[in-house]
Amino acid sequence: MRVTPAAVAAERDRLRERASVVPLVNETREVLSELFETEVDAVTPAGYRREVDAVFADGDRAVNVAALAGLLRDLDVEGDYPGFVVDELLGRRLASTIAGGQPLALLAEATFHLADARTHGGPDDAAGADDLDAALAAGFQTRLPGWSWRETESPFAVEPAEVRDGGRAEDREEP
C-alpha cells in the first residue's frame, strides 16, 4: 500500500460515496438510544458526507483513516476466522480515529462491536468489508452531534487558575 496525498483524497471520495452506511449509523444510534434510555438525532447522508470532509480536513487524521480504510477494504483471509482478530483490530482503530480524541475514541471502539454484529458483507466481499462499514458507523455516529450529553458543558470542567485567581499567577506581585 502506498499512501500519498492523492490516495488520501481518493479515499475521502470513496468514503463520502459510502453514504449507504448511514442506515447502519442510525440503526446503531437507535439501539444505543434504547439501551441508555435517551433520545438521539438521526444522521442524514448529507450530514455524513460533511463529517467525512471534516475528518479528512485534518491531514494527520486523514492519512490514518485512509490507510486503515484501505487495509480493511482489501483484507481477506481464507476461511475468515483466522483473520477475525486483525479485522477487528483494524475496525476498532478506524472507528476510534474517526471519532477523535478521548473519551470519544474509546466510545467508538466499544460501539464498533455493536455495529459489527449488525452488518455482514456479501459473498464476494473481502472479509474486512463489513468491518469497514461497522467502523464507519461507529466512528461517525460517535463524533456526529445529536447526543444530548454532548450538547452541554461537563460538570467536571475546572476553571483555569488564572481565571479563578484574577490573572496569571506569574503576572501577580507576590505579597
Give 97-111 pLDDT, tens digit per residue.
999 999 999 999 999
Q: Report the C-alpha gap between 91 and 122 in whole angstroms.
A: 17
Query: Using alpha carbons only, what angle is made at residue 124 by residues 64 and 12, rounded to the nearest 5 degrees?
Result: 25
> How high is the pLDDT of residue 122?
59
Q: What sign results for the dihedral spanned by CA atoms 154, 22, 63, 89?
A: positive
Residue 76 confidence (pLDDT): 74
Containing 108, the helix (H) or strand (E) segment is: helix 104-116
Cell reading at 82: 483466522
pLDDT over 90 at 134, yes or no: yes
Per the model's pLDDT, the better-predicted residue between 64 and 82 turns out to be 64
Average pLDDT, rounded, for the chain: 86
Residue 11 has what pLDDT?
96
- Cα angle vertex 119, ends 18, 31, to 5°? 100
pTM above threshold 0.95: no
Q: Do 139 and 98 form a contact (C-beta atoms < 8 A)?
A: yes
- Grid cell 506581585 is found at 173
CA angle 62, 122, 23 (to 5 degrees): 60
